[in-house]
Amino acid sequence: MSTPDTPRVAIVTGGSGGIGRDICQRLAADGMTVVVHYAGNPDRAKEVVESLVAAGATATSVGADVADEKQVATLFDEVERLYGGVDVVVHTAGIMLLSPLVDLELADLDRMHRTNIRGTFVVNQQAASRLRRGGALVNFSSSVVRLALPTYTAYAATKGAVDAVTLTLARELRGRDITVNAVAPGPTATPLFLNGKDQDAIDHLANMAPLERLGTPADIAEVVAFLAGPARWVNGQILYANGGIA
């Protein structure tokens, strides 16, 4: 367990992405040492690290394919070598490929299965093995699991699997003083979400929420910071961060 003189250490998978970047910044602002994971863009991860260090934080970047158990084990090995242990794992890494079920390319289903489901299993296995007492694991689900929006069938199915892993793993870690939760964002203004949508579609999704706007990465990062830090009595939950859509 980290001490008041030893900052908590957080790994953020997909930490160079839209929501991931804000999560890294928010956890660093809370005094955590942040490891920015990336899959294929080391330069973007380096930019995030440089911004964190410039703000006075301790940070580094490490690459890995989240669905490759050897690479993910090496990622955790490197973090333990650098900082002595891991206290928080935030697993944001995922992909979203949209299509009505009848037109779905099964290759797209396989890609999402590999990253979103297998990747969650692999990262969660390492987190369950490595997190120190008092630690927190935060997975990423999606509000589309409950909203059942057309064209999201396969993506929602992969995130339903994330829910199942999260709820069960929280109980499997009984006695370890480790919380396991998931955040389920609603429509959030990130490149992943906005890609391929026209303005009418974006406006429609924004107006679904009683707050009449899209979420921002900072909105989601705030929820993650709560689960990663003070929320020690929140465990085995899926938190819907969607502005009240449902």
157's enclosing H/E stretch is: helix 153-172
Quote the CA–CA distance of 129 and 133 in Å, as a whole number. 11
Instruction: Determine contact, residues 242/143, Cβ cutoff 8 Å.
Output: yes
* Strand partners of residue 88: 10, 136
Q: Select which of 38, 83, 152, 155 is catalytic.
A: 155
- Indicate if 83 belongs to the active site: no
CB 24 within 8 A of CB 1: no
The C-alpha atoms of residue 16 and residue 34 are separated, in whole angstroms, by 12
Residue 35: beta bridge partners?
11, 60
Give catalytic residue positions: 155
